[in-house]
Chains A and B, each alone.
Chain A
């Protein structure tokens, strides 16, 4: 309870400071969330450059949204960022007339090894797993892929996912279960 209160306080404080056009806080928000938003967008569009452009657009749109709205529609800043990211992707494809398709097969998106002290063998295994999962994710239904990324990659709470996707918490739980099963089936088929 105290930690969740502290989190709520921090969130309200950040939103209020953003509402008062505090640019330092906005840059801090960018530092905290840019990686997560990029990853979310990347798994939606499947191309690095488009993901970068859209990520940049999401932050600018969020800044404008905060200045022009009452902020009562979103419970957390993180949920607001993801909601804006979702609508930005839809708008982007509507404007460019492109079809929303996912490949996730960009050759130029090399996985970065963050900690070089890891043993090489372990990292090789991990990279193999990552590549396998990454290759199977595009084969999942769009809503399954989205919910997997939100929950298991970007660590959003069920409440936040419910807010971002507009689904009830119960539906989110069911979707999470189904999406995990579907991904597991794909990976097991691949092993056979």
Chain B
């Protein structure tokens, strides 16, 4: 006899049960006994409150609590930087912003996309540092020193990532490099009777910058920053955003 056979046969012992008449009589007897000890019939409101409490107690079970915590952690690491994007480098919440940015970067698996995003974060951070230092009321020398170092670090991050990326960063519409309109000669599209068409492109905001131009802009921004021309440095950094 296998264990499975034995277990199946043991299951048949469920057929041992008290006789129905005793069950019924005992049920009535118990009902009377508990009614005498103050048992009641609950109102609809009490039942609702009990159900609500039961739901809350079930939800506080470790597995449910852990799942909720995981959702919060994943959500905050993925989208937390959006909430913290307005914090400035001299504020206490800035650390949370930095952590959130790092967490966001770790969620991106594609190397190129990660480097682009890291550059974007570094550009924003450098601009925020320049904005803080441009405030004449900000005179904490220790903090100023730290922010100077941090600015250069951020610029170096952008420079390093731009060099790695094959595709160049896009240029903002305010860029002087993009102010000249270009002409594109197409042999296949919109030809006129003479077989040649000229399509004049608009001075659009997505004209791309190559690596050397970006590096040059970064250097200029760094120089302006060193000369304490913060507003100009901010404008310069804006070109590569």
Residues of A within 8 A of B (CB): 1, 5, 8-9, 12-13, 16-17, 20-24, 26-27, 30-31, 34-35, 38-39, 42, 48, 51-52, 55-56, 59-60, 63-64, 67, 109, 111-114, 126, 129-130, 133-134, 148-149, 152-154, 180, 183-184, 187-188
How many of B's residues come within 8 Å of A, CB to CB? 43
- In the complex, are the beta carbons of B54 and A12 less than 8 A apart? yes
Contact indicator per residue, chain B 23-50, by CB within 8 Å of chain A (1) or not (0): 1001101110111011111100011001
Question: Please, which residues of chain A bring their CB within 8 A of the CB of B9?
Answer: 129-130, 133
Set A21, A113, A134, A153: member contacting B40, Cβ < 8 A: A21
Give the interface centre of B30, B33, B34 by most chain A CB atoms within 10 Å. Answer: B34
- In the complex, are the beta carbons of B18 and A187 less than 8 A apart? no
Set A16, A35, A154, A183: member contacting B53, Cβ < 8 A: A16
Residues of B within 8 A of A (CB): 1, 3, 6-7, 9-19, 22-23, 26-27, 29-31, 33-35, 37-42, 46-47, 50-51, 53-55, 57-58, 61, 63-64
Question: Please, which residues of chain A bring their CB within 8 A of the CB of B41?
Answer: 22-24
Q: Across the two chains, which residue of chain A brings its CB closest to B57?
A: A12
- In the complex, are the beta carbons of A23 and B34 less than 8 A apart? yes
Q: Across the two chains, which residue of chain B brings its CB closest to A24?
A: B41
Query: Considering the chains assembled together, what is the distance between the CA atoms of A59 and B34 in angstroms?
Result: 10
Q: Across the two chains, which residue of chain B brings its CB closest to A183?
A: B6
- In the complex, are the beta carbons of B12 and A130 less than 8 A apart? yes
- In the complex, are the beta carbons of A9 and B40 less than 8 A apart? no
Set A8, A52, A134, A153: member contacting B18, Cβ < 8 A: A52
Question: Please, which residues of chain B bring their CB within 8 A of the CB of A20?
Answer: 40, 42, 46, 50
- In the complex, are the beta carbons of A184 and B6 less than 8 A apart? yes
- In the complex, are the beta carbons of A5 and B58 less than 8 A apart? yes
